[in-house]
Chains A and B, each alone.
Chain A
Amino acid sequence: MEVELKEMLEDLEALKRTLSDPSHHDSIAKLQQHVERISDLAKSVPSRRSKVQDMSAEVVDSNPYSRLMALQRMGIVENYERIREFSVAIVGIGGVGSVAAEMLTRCGIGRLLLYDYDKVELANMNRLFFRPEQSGMTKTDAAVQTLSDINPDVVLESYTLNITTVKGFETFMESLRNQNFRPRNGDGGVDLVLSCVDNYEARMVVNQACNELNQIWMESGVSEDAVSGHIQLLVPGETACFACVPPLIVASGVDERTLKRDGVCAASLPTTMGVVAGLLVQNTLKFLLKFGQVSPYLGYNALKDYFPTMEMKPNLQCSNAACLERQKEYILTKPARDAAAAKAKMEMEASSATEIPIHADNEWNISVDDSYDIEKTDLTSSSDALPEGLTRELPSADEFQILPVPEETSTSIDDLEELRRQLEALNAD
């Protein structure tokens, strides 16, 4: 375009010279001004920034990472640049997933894997991220388009598939195992999976995959009425998996009609979705970059601005076989883990003991009473004990218990082909 405009200017100049009549000169000058303005506009159209080799902490306007690297100077994060080594998989690129993807992209995450089978629609425009002109595109394609413009340093992989189908699940598992980006120990190829899906089936699928791969993941959700949400950290074997606790309406047996009104499509707000995405990515950054406390569960009630937190232990009778496997592994490695923790604690104490006393003299003979310490340790060790009259329904999970194996059901003598033929015969007439 610039070349064309330049040629046009030259043509106008030539025209001006050939015209002897000075009365036309004014209008030609006007045309020249227009062309110059257009070429200015063309120059101001933003160009894509080039990739950045190393994250720099230099404070200049052109450095996309200066504010992030300042986290190190402030003493919040020890080594921010490590973020470029991490891979995060985001399942579901909707109201929460797309915003989470943008946040991680702007933070300079190493690699993002995006999964969705849906298309962008105008009905999505009450949420953040997608633009009206993207409607009709697959959510994965539209996300890659926007994200690669925002930060070309991030390696983006998009998977347009339904993870609940057998074939989609295989591709999903394969992509999570792929270690091309960074070779590492163990099976996994990603550091964290974020579930941002909108239905129970897909959550159960993410749960299945992560339990099988021993992959740490975070679950997120926004309620159908758009005024509450939650995020949850799931460490296979250590915390409750998604199948450990059945949904409320299944467990309590209440009439589900009282919980959901018929025929009303789900509500959504950009605010609630944005808050939940923010909480999710904040927890992700704390987990990856090792700062602050990673929340095992964080709820958000928008109506009362209430943020409950809690921890959930795995269910020994979980219906998910892979979860039970992970629980077994976790219990079996408990002694080693306890020993390591005790050693770390001893070292900490030893290093603090060698420090010089804070007060060299003790003019008033003030001493700390040891008995208080003992009482305190007693209290913590008995905090698991229940008051009299109460018993726990489930056994404690501290020791691994071998559950009785259910008796093998007698294998049917029926032949699958025969059954298929019978059904086809019924279908025929």
Chain B
Amino acid sequence: MEGWDPNTKSTLTKIPLLTTKAGPRDGAAWTQRLKDEYKALITYTQMNKSNDNDWFRISAANPEGTRWTGKCWYVHNLLKYEFDLQFDIPVTYPSTAPELELPELDGKTHKMYRGGKICLTVHFKPLWAKNCPRFGIAHALCLGLAPWLAAEVPILVDSGMIKHKDDAASSAGS
């Protein structure tokens, strides 16, 4: 965990750790794991809101809880940039981490795999593997997506690859 900023570290310690090692094919054990996932997500969302650092919405898109969709946003130069967020729970979960996708940014940055999967190889996946099965979706968002947005959104904005929705609307209207 060296190299992480103290804020992320202290946030991380407050997200409840998960105990059940189960994937989407494990029946009742997966239901138990899903409950753990929800608890961690609820705590993390509440914490973000109380710290005025709310930055994502995520909910299960199917009853099995294997597909998740939502939104995430990042504020850069006082402007809010919002993106669709989606991912599947892989069959080998939690041995392998979910591959978080921002489909709107597909092709706009090379820190991304096909289909808008953000690159987590270096900063996140070894950490996930070391902490299996204690890390869950909330941890993936906190340690995977948040630092990615913080690193990439400013570059994407400054290079003109993405525009704020107000700018885009006004330039399209004129």
Whether the pair B110, A427 counts as a contact (CB closer than 8 A) is: no
Chain A nearest CB from B21 CB (Å) reads 8
Chain B nearest CB from A380 CB (Å) reads 38
Whether the pair A201, B92 counts as a contact (CB closer than 8 A) is: yes
**How many Å lie between the Cα of A187 and that of B7 in the bound state?**
52
Instruction: From the candidates B24, B59, B129, name the one contacting A424 in the complex (CB within 8 A).
Output: B59
Q: A165-B88, A263-B111 are in contact. Are A416 and B125 (CB under 8 A)?
A: no
Whether the pair B125, A200 counts as a contact (CB closer than 8 A) is: yes
Q: Mark A119-135, 1 if CB is under 8 A from B, else 0.
A: 00000000000000000
Instruction: From the candidates A208, A243, A256, A412, name the one contacting B35 in the complex (CB within 8 A).
Output: A412
Whether the pair B96, A201 counts as a contact (CB closer than 8 A) is: yes
Chain B nearest CB from A241 CB (Å) reads 12
Q: Does A48 contact B (CB under 8 A)?
A: no
Q: Does B19 contact A (CB under 8 A)?
A: yes
Q: Mark A359-401, 1 if CB is under 8 A from B, else 0.
A: 0000000000000000000000000000000000000000000
How many residues on the A side are at the interface (Cβ–Cβ under 8 A)?
A: 39
**How many Å lie between the Cα of A201 and that of B122 in the bound state?**
14
**How many Å lie between the Cα of A163 and that of B70 in the bound state?**
23
Q: Mark A244-260, 1 if CB is under 8 A from B, else 0.
A: 00110110010111001
How many residues on the B side are at the interface (Cβ–Cβ under 8 A)?
A: 44
**Which single residue of chain B is at the shortest CB-CB distance from A204?**
B92
Q: Which residues of B contact A255 (CB under 8 A)?
A: 2-3
Q: Which residues of B contact A265 (CB under 8 A)?
A: 110
Whether the pair B42, A414 counts as a contact (CB closer than 8 A) is: no
Q: Does A118 contact B (CB under 8 A)?
A: yes
**How many Å lie between the Cα of A250 and that of B88 in the bound state?**
23
Instruction: From the candidates B57, B64, B70, name the one contacting A166 in the complex (CB within 8 A).
Output: B64
Q: Does A419 contact B (CB under 8 A)?
A: yes
Whether the pair B24, A166 counts as a contact (CB closer than 8 A) is: yes
Chain B nearest CB from A212 CB (Å) reads 9
Q: A166-B24, A412-B32 are in contact. Are A419 and B39 (CB under 8 A)?
A: yes
Q: Does B105 contact A (CB under 8 A)?
A: no
**How many Å lie between the Cα of A297 and that of B49 in the bound state?**
52
Whether the pair B126, A419 counts as a contact (CB closer than 8 A) is: no
Q: Does A72 contact B (CB under 8 A)?
A: no
Chain B nearest CB from A150 CB (Å) reads 28
User: Beyond A163-B91, A205-B92: 14 further Cβ-contacts under 8 Å?
Assistant: A164-B90, A164-B92, A165-B88, A166-B66, A166-B91, A201-B90, A204-B95, A257-B122, A260-B121, A319-B132, A409-B20, A420-B38, A424-B59, A427-B58
Those 8 A-B pairs whose CB atoms lie nearest each other, nearest first: A419-B38, A169-B91, A250-B129, A204-B92, A201-B96, A164-B90, A426-B45, A427-B57
A-B residue pairs in contact (CB < 8 Å), sample of 24: A165-B88, A166-B25, A169-B25, A201-B97, A204-B95, A204-B96, A256-B122, A260-B121, A260-B122, A262-B122, A319-B95, A320-B95, A409-B19, A416-B38, A419-B39, A420-B38, A420-B59, A423-B41, A426-B45, A426-B46, A426-B49, A427-B57, A427-B59, A427-B70
Binding site for A on B (CB under 8 A): 2-3, 19-21, 24-25, 31-32, 34-35, 38-39, 41-42, 45-46, 49, 57-60, 64, 66, 70, 88-92, 95-97, 99, 110-111, 114, 121-122, 125-126, 129-130, 132
